[in-house]
């Protein structure tokens, strides 16, 4: 079976089944530091299950993705959320799917989004997603996720590659 997924613009509404969009746009703020700063407070909540803590890392993606492209796997982190925030204002691609059952994604509901360069994403714990796909490289991302023991990465290989196109 051949499948093609159309990339759509990332919005708070269309990404809601998978997690949260991290962005100032559309969110309230309050002033701090003598009104020199707008604080967009608690845009997402980090999910941590078990004995662990929240860590902030930098991921440097060194491979550029060219559209159209094919993917053949998704991963998920069952006991912790994972947030990706672009550090250089770069657009990136987000590919996600809901769960079909306890062990696999529903590939018939696969979605692809493109960010505007000012947006990050927070994948909820257990959300099937593709690893980082950047349109330019190198690209640095601040990543907020679970640091600790226990199994926190499941990988699902597709029976056939799926094409992602603009």
Q: Going from the N-terminus, what domains does the chain have, and what CATH number goes with each?
A: 3-165 (2.60.120.480)
Evaluate if residue 92 carries a pLDDT over 90.
yes
By DSSP bridging, strand 69-76 and strand 111-114 are unpaired
Question: What average pLDDT does the segment 153-157 reach?
Answer: 98
Which pLDDT band holds residue 2 (cuts at 50, 70, 90)?
Answer: confident
Average pLDDT, the chain: 96
| pLDDT tens-digit readout, 106-143 | 999 999 999 999 999 999 999 999 999 999 999 999 99
Take residue 105 and report the two structure tokens written for it: 């994604």
pLDDT of res. 1 = 56
Count of beta carbons in the 10 Å neighbourhood of residue 90 = 17
| pLDDT tens-digit readout, 43-64 | 999 999 999 999 999 999 999 9
Take residue 106 and report the two structure tokens written for it: 């529903």
Evaluate if residue 151 carries a pLDDT over 60.
yes
Q: pTM of the predicted model, to two decimals?
A: 0.94
Three-class SS of the chain: CCEEEEEEECCHHHHCCCEEEECCCCCCCEEECCCCEEECCCCCCCCECCCEEEEEEEEEECCECCCCEEEEEEEECCCECEEEEECCCCCEEEEEECECCCCCECHHHCEEEECCCCCEEEECCCCEECCCEECCCCEEEEEEEEEECCCCCEEEEEEEEEEEEC
């Amino acid at each position: 079976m051949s499948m093609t997924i159309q990339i759509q613009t990332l919005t708070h509404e269309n990404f809601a089944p998978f997690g949260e969009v991290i962005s100032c746009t559309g969110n309230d703020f309050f002033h701090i530091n003598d009104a020199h700063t707008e604080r967009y407070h608690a845009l997402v909540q980090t999910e941590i299950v078990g004995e662990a803590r929240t860590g902030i890392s930098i991921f440097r993606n060194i491979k550029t993705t060219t559209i159209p492209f094919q993917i053949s796997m998704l991963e998920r982190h069952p006991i912790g959320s994972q947030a990706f925030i672009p550090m250089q204002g770069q657009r990136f691609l987000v590919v996600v799917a809901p769960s079909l059952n306890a062990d696999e994604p529903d590939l018939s509901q696969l979605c692809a989004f493109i960010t505007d360069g000012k947006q990050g994403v927070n994948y909820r714990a257990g959300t099937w997603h593709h690893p980082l796909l950047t349109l330019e490289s190198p690209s640095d991302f601040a990543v907020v996720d679970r640091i600790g023991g226990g199994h926190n990465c499941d990988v699902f290989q597709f029976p056939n590659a799926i094409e992602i196109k603009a």
